[in-house]
A and B are shown apart, each in its own frame.
Chain A
Amino acid sequence: MITLLEARNIGKRFGGLQALSEVSLTIRKGEVYGLIGPNGAGKTTFFNVLTGAYTPDGGEFVFNGAPLPSGKPHLVVTQGIARTFQNIRLFRELTALENVMAGHHIRTTAGVWGILTQNKHTVEEERLTTERAYELLKYVGIERFATATAKNLSYGDQRRLEIARALATEPQLLALDEPAAGMNATETGQLKHLIEQIRGDGITVLLIEHDVKLVMGLCDRVAVLDFGRKIAEDVPAEVQKNEAVIGAYLGGGHKHAH
């Protein structure tokens, strides 16, 4: 197995709160890697540090063998890491299609001059972007809403649209922050299918999720965070048996606090 992303001793402190301390983990190419833990364990902080929204206080990420730039979100996306948000952050006033096209922005090269003169390269690139965006909408199953304004989509479809937009950046690693939050059982089932499809297409998935059933049924490996520390990293079946994990989820996890 080839390593895609390696987190080395990542630390992040907010004032008096040590949100992450010395978190190290390794994500392999092609797997679905779950990151779970009780509320406030530092999962979303880990995402924010990884995607450049925050600068870590210590440690580094190595992606494809090279260190990731820290604190520069758009450079991280260029490197091939895309994310979705726990609270959906679409461009609400744009259509579904335009949202996905905006996601592809980073892979396009037309400049201001090309756009004003509408030269061949720009027109062709725009055509390909549109085509690719349609394909992605179809891929996540919402192509019939292509021209609908994003804010008018149902909650589940907005989640799908956010995934389509993230895929439009052509990532190698797709980081999903609680994609099943607020979904009913049917929608969660469809989401599971979609994530499996994404993995099948060779994209590595990092999944933060509260739905333990989904995580255990989907992930190849799972890491558990508690009070900013990694307390376990293994295949789902082993993690479920891990006593530290059971303790953390049942409220006995304070022994890990400092």
Chain B
Amino acid sequence: MEIFLQQIVNGLVVGSVYALVALGYTMVYGILGLINFAHGDLVMVGALTALQTMMFLMGVAPGMSPVAMLTLSLLVAIPVCMLLAFTMERLAYRPLRNAPRLAPLITAIGVSFLLQTLAMIVWGRNYHTFPQLISTTPVQPIEGVFITPIQITIIIVSALMMAGLILLVTKTKLGRAMRATAENHRVAALMGVDTNMIIALTFVIGAALAAVAGVMFASNYGIAHYGMGFMPGLKAFTAAVLGGIGNLGGAMLGGVVLGLVESFGAGYIEQATFGFLNSSYQDIFAFIILGLVLIFKPTGLLGERVSDRA
């Protein structure tokens, strides 16, 4: 029983990070029909920018409280990622707005490589220790089930950001303009919506979520690296497809479900295969799910057909 509950906790933590990143994929897909494969790398840029900021702050103000330091580094990482996403959209995707679908898709993969290579040049090829400013000493809310304060923070922050996003999209003029643009650029423009601005904003909001996800991801594992965005990016994409790409609620649901599946998979794979496979094979679950969803339910749990638009 403890193991079961423990897997739920682990799954929720990882799942909320996937969900945050998946939202970025799904929003851009919803509005442009583009799968922005460079989105995962924003997670990495967010984490490494925050790391850089922390190093700087530790140098100039060693006595600063950990929470203030984490907040400040987020306040640097978020705008950096936003600016990067804005530039990405402006330079790489907007010129291809009316090109055949394959062109922006391949471009997105190119941008992903570009970001990773640039990060390698700036931050080097080594793994960096990421300061764990929020305690990683586990507490036991239930005997035998461990959760660390950073994990609790991850779950709460993700939930708040997702709630904020839902409010923005469903309750404000901006969200209405986003949904209108997603449905029909030309008619939305006819209503006076600046569709270029709305599209840029969609990228920028996704980037902010990715930056937060990156900092939390790195804080949880205590490590940061130029290639660290790739795998969570692919997993988040899987989560978006699982939930139904283009659908915000779907991305959140998909993220959490994927987190749980991975966590349970990793927890029980050794028993299930009689020791043939162990928990280091946990990545296979995400991709088995991706395959199964695409074959049997391409609309995902809540959304539209991928093959119609991708």
Contact = CB atoms under 8 A, between A and B. Distances in A.
B153 interface: no
Interface stretch (B89-97, B177-185, B230-238, B268-276): B177-185
Contacts of A110: 173
A106 B174 contact: no
Interface of B: 168, 172-174, 176-177, 179-180, 183-184, 186-194, 201
Contacts of A126: 172-173
B249 to A, nearest CB: 13
B183 A91 contact: yes
Contact of A112 (B179, B180, B201): B201
B191 A105 contact: yes
Nearest to A102: B180
Interface string A78-89: 100001000001
- Chain A contact residues, majority secondary structure: helix
A101 interface: yes
Given A74-B189, A105-B191, A106-B191, A129 B184 contact: no
Given A51-B190, A73-B190, A91 B173 contact: no
B184 A89 contact: yes
A113 to B, nearest CB: 11
A158 interface: no
Interface residues of A, number: 30
A102 B176 contact: yes
Interface stretch (A92-100, A184-192, A233-241): A92-100
B192 A77 contact: yes
Given A94-B176, A98-B176, A115-B172, A105 B183 contact: no
A98 B175 CA distance: 11
Contacts of B183: 91-94
Nearest to A75: B192
B172 A91 contact: no
12 contacts: A74-B193, A77-B190, A77-B192, A94-B179, A98-B176, A101-B176, A102-B188, A102-B191, A102-B193, A105-B176, A106-B191, A106-B192
B147 to A, nearest CB: 32
B191 A94 contact: no
Contacts of B191: 74, 77, 102-103, 105-106, 165, 169
A108 interface: yes
Nearest to B197: A112
A122 B176 CA distance: 14
Complex A-B, nearest 5 residue pairs according to Cβ-Cβ distance, in ascending order: A106-B192, A102-B180, A91-B183, A115-B174, A91-B180
A168 to B, nearest CB: 8
Contact of A102 (B168, B172, B177, B194): B177
Contacts of B177: 102, 105
Interface string A22-40: 0000000000000000000
A92 B304 CA distance: 14
B90 to A, nearest CB: 17
A112 B192 CA distance: 15
Contacts of B168: 115-116
Residue from B179, B183, B184, B201 having most chain A Cβ neighbours under 10 A: B183
B173 A115 contact: yes
Contacts of A89: 184, 187
A125 B193 CA distance: 16
Nearest to A101: B176
A129 B190 contact: no
Contact of B179 (A74, A78, A93, A106): A93
Given A73-B189, A106-B193, A115-B168, 4 more contacts: A92-B183, A94-B179, A126-B173, A165-B191
Contact of B192 (A78, A83, A92): A78
Contacts of B188: 91, 102
A161 to B, nearest CB: 13
A105 B188 CA distance: 9
Contacts of B176: 94, 98, 101-102, 105
Interface in A97-145: 98, 101-103, 105-108, 110, 112, 115-116, 122, 125-126, 129
Contacts of A105: 173, 176-177, 180, 191-193
A51 B190 CA distance: 9
A205 to B, nearest CB: 18
